[in-house]
Amino acid sequence: MLTTFYYIDLYNKQQQNQPETEREYFLRMAREMEQARILEKRQARKANIKAIFVAALNLFKAKPVQATDSVFGH
């Protein structure tokens, strides 16, 4: 049986076992920090929108009113 080696696959296999270089580490950390900042901004925006909707709903909330029975003498 003839086995063919795909050199790209072998290269990729070797790369997986290589320790992370300092540059790759810092690039990965920068990406993760950027993702964390984006997530934080999204959550803050979502909280602001929620607060606006709650404030708007509170404007339309029914206030307690005096019973009309006593007014009309029932």
Q: Are 20 and 28 in contact (CB under 8 A)?
A: yes
User: What pLDDT shows up at residue 58?
Assistant: 87
Identify the helix (H) or strand (E) that includes residue 52.
helix 22-59
User: What pLDDT shows up at residue 18?
Assistant: 74
The structural domains of the chain, with segments of one domain joined by +, span 19-56
Residue 68 sits at the vertex; the CA angle it makes with 55 and 66, to the nearest 5 degrees, is 45
Give 8-62 pLDDT, tens digit per residue.
666 666 667 777 889 989 999 999 999 999 999 999 999 999 999 999 988 887 7
User: What pLDDT shows up at residue 61?
Assistant: 77
Give the model's confidence band at 67: pLDDT under 50 very low, under 70 low, under 90 confident, else very high: low
